[in-house]
Amino acid sequence: MRNRTYLLWSLLLGLLFMTYACSDDTPGGGSGGSSVMSVDWPEGEDVPLEAQMGAVQELDFHADQNWTTSVSQDWLEVEPSSGGAGDYTLKLSVIKPNDTGDVRTATLSLISGSTPLRITIIQEEYIRVEKETYNVPAEGGNLDINFFTTIDQGTPDNPNFNVYSSGADWITDRQAAATRADEDTYNVQLRVLPNEGKQSRTTQFYFVKEPFDNDHANNYILATATIVQAGQGSGTSESYEEDGKVVVLQEHTAGEGIPLVIMGDGFLDTDITSGYYEQVMDKAVEHLFTEHPISEMAEYFDIYCVQVVSPNGNFGVGEENYGETALGCWMETGTSTGVGGNDETVQQYAQKVEGIDLDDTQVVVILNSDAYKGTNYNYWYTDGTPSNFSIAYFPIIGNLESEDFRRVLVHETVGHGIGKLHDEYSYEENPLMPDDEIAQTQQQQEDFGWWLNVDFTDDEQAVLWSPFLFDPRYDDQGLGIFEGACTYMSGAYRSTEESMMNGNTMGFNAPSRRALYNNIIKRGEGRTPTLEEFIDFDQQTYVKPTQTRAAAPSRPFGRPRTVRLDRPLGR
């Protein structure tokens, strides 16, 4: 499966460098007089950059007065971005890999005075797959993935690109390496084994720039092909008699009742009549109450199951590319774990529950697929009013007994949805949280009471979970101030090294448990509990988790998404 190729950049060694130069006789940069800038690069030639994130090119630059820079595309970064008179080495960096499937360019503008010096930056390396999605029947068969690349071929010991799979054991190679069809076109020859399961299954093939760093995989992926194989339950629905029927799974015995509506997408009529749909929903409810504190507060919830009959199990591929299923669910490609559906249709099905208040409802949508995806959507109105309405989308990851299925369900539904918790993990490709995102998150913390498990200070006296840091009753819970949260490596802080909102292990930490407890009491009893009330509850019921349930962290997901509403829900 791995095709060994290499790329040899020609740097025009031995060529005498000419000079880009720009002069301006008007005052500029605060120093007045003539402005002269020059860059050592062959005149009239574009500056090349390789395709992967982190690729770098340097330019020697001279200015005789103050200067600044600007770039026309967000995939390019230049350092330094400004300076005074003198000689500089500009570092051009790729901050997003070229996954466009085509050549891409950007313009670097060096500005001093009124006449900028403009230089074209070009990425000629790319890989383009013939199709981004391949649908395979349940019985399997042979499959060829064709792709085109501008990257030169190399040797087995010195490849310049490769093809990797996400490790599905139901796909085998028909050839040991990609086969070259012509000068720039190749194909990967595969055999897809029969799918004996009910649900569809999904895997990806990644086309990456070498040398490849597995710890920073996203930096090197230039193209992705997704393979979706139908399950034994695939086909088309013939009867919609069961569609829209509501089954009451649980009635509250404490408080006023918090509505939770669970439904599935991509299930056929036969999945409902056979009892499989009910089996999936029952298992989901069982998983829902497996982590503290919600495990001790199940009596506050009214739980309803809405039966949804899909015409088929064909989910959409790509963000907001609605599928052919009843709820139009879609899944993002590549390493992205994003998933969603037609929110308005989901609301209509939730309203099958008589008298339900959508603004106070948590909805769970389970996709009949084994893909590793998960996204929760929280809602607020244009007037700045938050809504308790939330939709958590995720597939049956692996199978019904899979620990990943349980953990993702809890992370998305309980953590993001009910607790309004932020993610506590970070990606190395997100080095520093931007100031505008920090400001927006802080505003929602203050106005909505969301995201109270993260903060933006390392001051023990000021951080949101400060009371726990100085309470001896919490000395053994590993609490502190750890940099890295909200998917960023720096600028945001979390309270523990590991947690359910980080690697989906070790349960919810104390700040998260407090947020969950407060939100359930607010919605269930209409009051705000005190800190000491929560601590009394927590001390009586909390049992420190061990690693036996989730020995290894699972892959992180994209951050929770917020949706602004310009009209009431369900209308």
pLDDT by residue (tens digit) across 228-261?
A: 898 887 789 999 999 999 999 999 999 999 999 9
Q: Say if residue 308 is in the same domain as residue 339.
A: yes
How many CA atoms, within 13 angstroms, populate the side-chain half-sphere of residue 104?
Answer: 22
Domain ends where: 81, 106, 123?
Answer: 123
Q: Say if residue 265 is in the same domain as residue 412.
A: yes
State how far the Cα of 44 lies from the Cα of 61, in Å rounded to an integer. Answer: 16
**398, part of any domain:** yes
User: Tell me, what's the pLDDT at 369?
Assistant: 92
User: Tell me, what's the pLDDT at 551?
Assistant: 43
C-beta separation of 374 from 393 below 8 A: yes
State how far the Cα of 164 lies from the Cα of 4, in Å rounded to an integer. Answer: 12
Q: What is the pLDDT of residues 86-129, one digit of tens each?
A: 999 999 999 999 999 999 999 999 999 878 899 999 999 999 99
Q: What is the pLDDT of residues 293-335, one digit of tens each?
A: 999 999 999 999 999 999 999 999 888 889 999 999 999 877 7
C-beta separation of 506 from 496 below 8 A: yes
Please determine, for residue 13, whether its predicted confidence score (pLDDT) is greater than 80: no
Domain ends where: 75, 101, 123?
Answer: 123
Local structure of residue 298 (DSSP, 8 states): G
**295, part of any domain:** yes
User: Tell me, what's the pLDDT at 75?
Assistant: 95
**235, part of any domain:** no
Question: In whole angstroms, what separates CA 125 from the centre of its chain?
Answer: 26
| DSSP secondary structure string for all residues of 72-114 | SSTTEEEES-EE-SEEEEEEEEESS---SSS-EEEEEEEESTT
CATH number at 274 reads 3.40.390.10
Q: Say if residue 302 is in the same domain as residue 402.
A: yes
**237, part of any domain:** no
Q: Say if residue 199 is in the same domain as residue 327.
A: no
State how far the Cα of 542 lies from the Cα of 298, in Å rounded to an integer. Answer: 15
Q: Say if residue 272 is in the same domain as residue 388.
A: yes
State how far the Cα of 443 lies from the Cα of 492, in Å rounded to an integer. Answer: 15
* pTM as predicted: 0.76
**571, part of any domain:** no
CATH number at 171 reads 2.60.40.10
* Residue whose structure tokens are 């953990």: 407
Q: Say if residue 451 is in the same domain as residue 357.
A: no
C-beta separation of 295 from 319 below 8 A: no
State how far the Cα of 72 lies from the Cα of 455, in Å rounded to an integer. Answer: 33
| DSSP secondary structure string for all residues of 323-375 | -SSTT--EE--TT---EE--HHHHHHHHTTSTT--GGG-EEEEEESB-----E
C-beta separation of 92 from 59 below 8 A: yes
Please determine, for residue 174, whether its predicted confidence score (pLDDT) is greater than 70: yes
**241, part of any domain:** no
Q: Say if residue 261 is in the same domain as residue 200.
A: no
**8, part of any domain:** no
Give per-residue burial for 93-120: e unless 16+ CB within 10 Å, then b.
ebebbbbebeebebebebbbbeebbebe
Query: Which one, of 211, 205, 208, lies nearest residue 221 by Cα?
Result: 208
Rounded (10°) angle between helices 510-525 and 531-541: 110
3-state DSSP helix/strand/coil % of the chain, to nearest 5: 20, 30, 50
* Residue whose structure tokens are 């649900």: 199
CA angle in degrees (0–180, nearest 5) for 416-420-426: 60
Q: Say if residue 114 is in the same domain as residue 131.
A: no
Q: Which residues pair with 492 in a beta bridge?
A: none
State how far the Cα of 345 lies from the Cα of 393, in Å rounded to an integer. Answer: 13
Please determine, for residue 17, whether its predicted confidence score (pLDDT) is greater than 60: no
List all residues 6 or more positions away from 146 whose beta carbon is below 8 Å from its beta carbon.
129, 130, 131, 181, 185, 186, 187
Q: What is the pLDDT of residues 433-449, one digit of tens each?
A: 999 999 999 999 999 99
| DSSP secondary structure string for all residues of 214-228 | GGGGGGTEEEEEEEE
**387, part of any domain:** yes
Q: Say if residue 465 is in the same domain as residue 493.
A: yes
Q: Say if residue 360 is in the same domain as residue 252.
A: yes
Torsions phi, psi of 247, nearest 5?
-115, 125
Give me the number of domains the chain comprises.
4
User: Tell me, what's the pLDDT at 274?
Assistant: 94
Q: Say if residue 77 is in the same domain as residue 113.
A: yes
Domain that holds residue 505: 435-541
Rg (CA), the chain: 27
Q: Say if residue 99 is in the same domain as residue 131.
A: no
Torsions phi, psi of 349, nearest 5?
-70, -40
Q: Give the Å distances, CA to CA, from 361 to 226, 354, 524.
A: 34, 13, 12
